[in-house]
Amino acid sequence: MIKLRTPREIELMRQAGAIAAAARGLAGKMAVAGISTRELDRAVHDFIVGRGAIPTFLGYNGFPKSVCISVNDEVIHGIPGTRRLCDGDLVSIDVGATKDGFVGDCADTFIVGEGSVEACRLVEVTRQCFFEAMKHALPGKRVSDISRAVQECAENSGFSVVRDFVGHGVGERLHEDPEIPNYVQAPRRGADPRLIEGMTIAVEPMINAGRYGIRVMPDGWTIATRDGSLSAHYENTVLITRDGARILTQTE
């Protein structure tokens, strides 16, 4: 079921979202050559806990860390570890914070030092996909209007959108209904709901520089591009209002 949020719930989600967004920003600033992904995870974990929130991903379905850090050809769900970032790496950082029972979920992709032209363009287009989608996040529109905006923006730029993983509703739980695909598909019955005021969704373009195929790495969590091409990810928790989309994962 797709839950509609009350003003009180929205305020709690905004508070959780502000913590998640600040943690994402912190990780972005710390993503420099030489730092390990484990150190980034620890810093974000401490930041979230220090603000009275809980890192949503820690233990979620058994995920062992507080942040998903995916480097270069890794799309999402990378497990932080001993890997040290190098100049030119593309680092996707996905953060979730739960406060007072509500979740803020957001992600961004950063370039360590100076990136290739392709990497810079991929990051820029991925963010652009999100903001194109926001133009359609209005009451009365459908989820597929968001999906179409992301897909057209990515494919018109020569990139592809990941098919096997999608955005989602978010609220008391990290993953709620509805699913928010980044591509238009033949809808299953009831799978293309209209957007209405009070819905809270995580819109998250996952864009590959090459083909859209993905593979699951041996750790069982990390998703990487099948062809080894670069991948970028950008995400915010968004509230549907009568005046349009309001991003809840924004720093205060």
Partner 1 sequence: MEELKIGCFIRNENGRDAGRVYAVISTDGQYLTLADGRSRRLEKPKRKKHKHVSLVSGGDEWLTQRLLSGERITNAQLRRALGEIPGKPGMEEVSTLGKG
**Residue 201 C-beta: closest distance to partner 1, Å:** 10
Q: Quick check: 154 binds partner 1 (CB under 8 A)?
A: no
Q: Quick check: 168 binds partner 1 (CB under 8 A)?
A: yes
Q: Quick check: 217 binds partner 1 (CB under 8 A)?
A: no
**Residue 199 C-beta: closest distance to partner 1, Å:** 6
Please, which residues have CB within 8 angstroms of residue 133's CB and are 6 or more apart in sequence? 146, 149, 150, 153, 203, 205
A 10 A CB-CB count for 8 gives 9
Which region among 110-118, 129-137, 146-154, 190-198 touches partner 1 (by CB under 8 A)? 190-198
Please, are residues 2 and 234 in contact by the beta-carbon 8 Å criterion?
no
31-55 b/e (C-beta count within 10 Å ≥ 16 → b): beeebebbebbebbbebbeeeebbb
Q: Quick check: 73 binds partner 1 (CB under 8 A)?
A: no
Of 51 and 141, which has the nearer Cβ to partner 1? Answer: 141
Which amino acid is residue 82, in one-letter code? T
Q: Quick check: 175 binds partner 1 (CB under 8 A)?
A: yes
C-alpha to C-alpha distance for 210 and 8, rounded to whole angstroms = 43
**Residue 155 C-beta: closest distance to partner 1, Å:** 19
Of 20, 178, 208, 248, which lies in the binding site for partner 1, with binding defined by CB under 8 A?
Answer: 178
Of 235, 239, 245, 248, which lies in the binding site for partner 1, with binding defined by CB under 8 A?
Answer: 235
CA angle 59, 68, 97 (to 5 degrees): 65
Of 93, 154, 206, 232, which lies in the binding site for partner 1, with binding defined by CB under 8 A?
Answer: 206
Of 243 and 252, which has the nearer Cβ to partner 1? Answer: 243
C-alpha to C-alpha distance for 130 and 147, rounded to whole angstroms = 10
Say if residue 178 is preceded by a cis peptide, omega within 30 of 0. yes
What 3-state class would DSSP assign to 92?
A: strand
Q: Quick check: 107 binds partner 1 (CB under 8 A)?
A: yes
**Residue 25 C-beta: closest distance to partner 1, Å:** 19
